[in-house]
Every structure is written in structure tokens, then in C-alpha cells.
Amino acid sequence: MTVLASVDAALDAPLEHWILEQVRAGTSPEAVLRPLIEQGWAEQAAIDAVEAAMRRFVEQREREDGLPPSSRVPAPLGLNDASILHALDRDVRVVAQLRHPRVIAFSNVLSDEECDALVEMSRARLSRSATVNMETGGDEVHVGRTSQGTCHARGGNALLRRIESRLAALLDWPLEKGEGMQVLRYGVGAEYKPHHDYFDPSQPGASVLLARGGQRVASMVMYLNTPERGGATTFPEAGFEVAAVKGNAVFFSYDRPHPMTLSLHGGAPVLAGEKWVATKWLREHVHA
């Protein structure tokens, strides 16, 4: 009997059809694999072939449902994984995680001195924050975003380079696939109403934005101070919020530009004091 050990081994159409029928009927994985193994497939090759068939089936259904294709996203760790991640020059702590939406809260991402330095280099450059106009791909002032902000070019100084390199190590995502760092200040009453960070591909302005590095696939919001009250980052569809604490950060990813990711999030109003954050958006490709 010939043993097909290659992971490239392909299923013929009737066998693929049979496998998908079995999977849909809830047949156990062992029972689905058995006929392949009886035909002489090596076990791992059979597992790979069945998984590939299921992936093709899911992708076809998603296309039929009009969903945009999914992308690879930064995945720094799994659930119930390490509690501390050594990120280049710093031990970052994992505080909490959510599977869907995919959210990770970290502490000890930035030192107090780094937070203060980011605030000081941004203070004089602040202007009323804009949002992306998806009709044109340009920026515009929006009532839902009442913060002030500024954007620092990637690698613009030694501090930015150090933090960007640390984030690249922490998130296992090349720093070239990141946008420049945005720093925001919220005064009392200022907020960022719930929104998605990805670009809506159906909007006319999307092509301009996507041409430069592809989709956004994840966001890292780092807290540069601790507001007296308010200013949490909220995920309203998950009923979840991350408190703004100096040096901590919230990471969230979205594997396709679609609300099904539940990545809708906002910056709740600051109730007392002020709030400073630095946001790093991660792209599919190199962002030049």
C-alpha cells in the first residue's frame, strides 16, 4: 500500500464532500480520519487535509455571505498562557484577556519616565483630534472625538524607537508594520465615541488608506497617566472596560474589517482630571 505522507496530498472531490458532510453531522474527528488512514494516508497528512477542506468550506461560506477575507493578526499569547512576557528590555505583565473580541490588558508596558516623556514631547503639538473621513481617506474633526492629539513619525527619536521596538517584540509584529504613534489628551468631559479602528473597505476613501500598508489589524492603546475618574477604554458589545492606569495598555485585534469581530470600542468620558494615551495601530503590511 502506498503511504501518502506529504502534507500537500489533496482530497478528491467526492472524498472532500463526504468529509464535510461528516463534519456537519457532528461525526467524531477519529471517524472522519479513519477512511483516509485506511486508504493509506499518513495520520498527520490526513489531519492536515481534513483541516484544509474545512478551511476551504468556511472561506467559501464567508465569501457567499459577503464577508471580507480574514487576515493574520498579531497574537502575542494564548489564553491561560504566560503571565509575564519579556519584551526586549522590559517584563510586561498580562492582566486580563478576552477571546471574543480579542482583547489583552497589560501592565508595566511603559515606565513612568517614558509616559511623562511622551506627554511632554506631545503637549506643545496638540490640536483637536481628527477622525478618518472614509469618503475621501483624509482627516476631519468629528463631534464623536473631543480629545486633542498629535502623531509622531515612526522612529522619530530614541524614545519612540525604544518603545516601538519593545512593542514589536511584545506583540511579535514587525515595527515596520506599525503606524506612527498617536498621542491624545482628553480633558474633563472629552471622550472618543465607540468606533472601529479598521477602515471600512466599502467606503470610497478606503483605497487611499489601504494602499499604504493594507488594513489595520490591531490596536495598542497605552495609558500615559491615571485620570482621577473616568476615561476607561470600553468594548460595549462585550460589556467590558479597561481602566486607564499609567504604564498599562490594552491590545485588541480584528482579523477582518467587520463588526463580527466585536472590536467596537470607545474612550469613555473623563469625569475628573485628564487622560493621556498613546495609540499604536498595526497594519497587515509595511506602512511606509
Residue 16 contacts Zn ion per CB under 5 A: no
Calpha distance 103→100 (Å, rounded): 7
CB of 230 to ligand PD2, least distance (A): 11
Among 279, 282, 283, 287, binds ligand PD2 (CB under 6 A): 279
Residue 265 contacts ligand PD2 per CB under 6 A: yes
Calpha distance 88→92 (Å, rounded): 10
Among the candidate windows 35-43, 65-73, 96-104, 261-269, which touches ligand PD2 by CB under 6 A? 261-269
Residue 189 has what DSSP assignment? T
Among 168, 210, 277, 282, binds ligand PD2 (CB under 6 A): 277
Calpha distance 164→158 (Å, rounded): 10
CB of 255 to Zn ion, least distance (A): 17
134 and 207 Cβ atoms separated by less than 8 Å:
no
Three cell numbers at 51?
483541516
- Smallest CA-to-CA distance from 209 within 277, 143, 285 is with 285
CB of 195 to Zn ion, least distance (A): 6
Residue 192 contacts ligand PD2 per CB under 6 A: yes
Q: Which is nearer to ligand PD2, 85 or 181 (CB)?
A: 181
Query: Cβ–Cβ contacts within 10 Å for residue 114, how many?
Result: 19
Among 114, 191, 197, 255, binds Zn ion (CB under 5 A): 197
Residue 44 has what DSSP assignment? H
Residue 267 contacts ligand PD2 per CB under 6 A: yes
What is the residue type of 236?
P
Three cell numbers at 284?
497587515
Q: Enumerate binding residues for ligand PD2 (CB under 6 A).
A: 184, 192, 197, 219, 221, 233, 265-267, 277, 279
Q: Enumerate binding residues for Zn ion (CB under 5 A).
A: 197
